Amino acid sequence: MRALAGIFDMLPGALWALLLAGALAFGLVKEAQVHAERTKTAEVRVELADYKATVAETGRLVARARLLELERINLEQRKAVDEAAKETRIAQGHASTARAAGDKLRLQIAKYAAAARRANERAAALERGTAGADPIGVLADVLGRCSQRVEFLAAYADRARIAGRLCEKSYDALGP
């Protein structure tokens, strides 16, 4: 301890004042540096909080955009389904009209065939012994079956066309 006290005695008071002033200046500089770093840290924390808020808001906006896109797709697909249902009703109405016209045509052909058979029977009765073929009856039968097949194929084609258009519109709704 005495050695330390001896050092204090050896140095003049002005030098001690200078050393003390230097130590104080050094401490103040370091304090200013610490304060500057704390200020920077606070600013970085604020920036980080802002960044996190921006990221969260962006996430909410992206989720909202996805929801809106899904709603748009759903709306487009619903429109396509409604339009397909409307087209189906129209096609069924046309098919019903065509079926009625076909039934009327088949009825007329049946009447003509019956009249031709009666005429053929009278002619056969007069000629006695000739075998009478019924070509009008065969024609009536062929036309009747053909008409039924056409109705079936037309209904099938209408359903396929409407389903294809619905599929196409539903797929198109997925795009931007």
Query: Is residue 137 pLDDT above 60, yes or no?
Result: yes
Phi/psi for 153 (5° steps) reads -65, -35
Query: Which pLDDT value is given to residue 125?
Result: 60
Helical pair 13-127 and 135-174, crossing angle rounded to 10 deg: 170
Query: Which pLDDT value is given to residue 8?
Result: 60
Task: Tell me the two tokens of residue 37.
Answer: 């770093």
pLDDT-based confidence at residue 93 (cuts at 50, 70, 90): very high
Calpha distance 85→67 (Å, rounded): 26
pLDDT-based confidence at residue 130 (cuts at 50, 70, 90): very low
- Under a CB-based contact definition with an 8 Å cutoff, are residues 73 and 176 in contact? no
Q: Which long-range contacts (CB under 8 A, 24 or more apart) does 120-128 make?
A: none
pLDDT in tens, 46-76: 999 999 999 999 999 999 999 999 999 999 9
Q: What percent of the chain has pLDDT over 90?
A: 47
- Under a CB-based contact definition with an 8 Å cutoff, are residues 132 and 123 in contact? yes
Query: Is residue 146 pLDDT above 80, yes or no?
Result: yes
Calpha distance 21→15 (Å, rounded): 10
Query: Which pLDDT value is given to residue 7?
Result: 63
pLDDT in tens, 98-113: 889 888 988 888 888 8
Q: Which residue is it, tokens 């037309």?
A: 154
Average model confidence (pLDDT) for the chain? 85
- Chain centroid to CA 86: 21
Q: How many residues does the chain have?
A: 176
What's the DSSP call for residue 94?
Answer: H
Q: What percent of the chain has pLDDT over 70?
A: 85
Query: Is residue 84 pLDDT above 60, yes or no?
Result: yes
Calpha distance 173→176 (Å, rounded): 8
Query: Which pLDDT value is given to residue 143?
Result: 84
- Chain centroid to CA 87: 21
